[in-house]
Structure 1
């Protein structure tokens, strides 16, 4: 007997903010901090905390730099982040019958 799709859900994406971040980053090559914050509608501190957690798990790469004299932060999914998110979405589709 094969495992139910719910067993393939990634616990790291169970938080709605992290799921939103992964979805937003999955759609682009990379995104700057301000764009992510505005797209998801969260505060700087919430975004920073969740990006750091996803980076620690190896799903997101964070790059810091400058545009002119202003500091900027960019985030992008790692290859394992793309793969883990795709597997999570596939499991959700199977659970909801959208496959």
Structure 2
């Protein structure tokens, strides 16, 4: 990867690995990096709306469309996000209007 990060989220969408958010050694970040195994290199992706680490991530390729979801996470200190960010290639990041998630961090998500 090009950016140092820990406690980030990973998910696979359309054959590419997305590394999202995390801690760069000084603060939580919103940056995104994408590995395309066919090219064998990392590229910088569009950053999320909010910096976060310890978030859950999942991708769907079904009725919901090809979408990445980043759920909750830790902003800094004790601030825990209650938001879900959604990513679609070509459309970028958006924030889900759902208020059902509540504050979440240090957990996992998976979609089949």
Give TM class, smaller chain: under 0.3
Larger helix fraction of residues:
1
TM superposition score normalised by structure 2: 0.21
Q: Which structure: larger Rg?
A: 1
TM superposition score normalised by structure 1: 0.23
Larger strand fraction of residues:
2
The structure whose RCO (Cα within 8 Å, separation 6+) is larger is 1
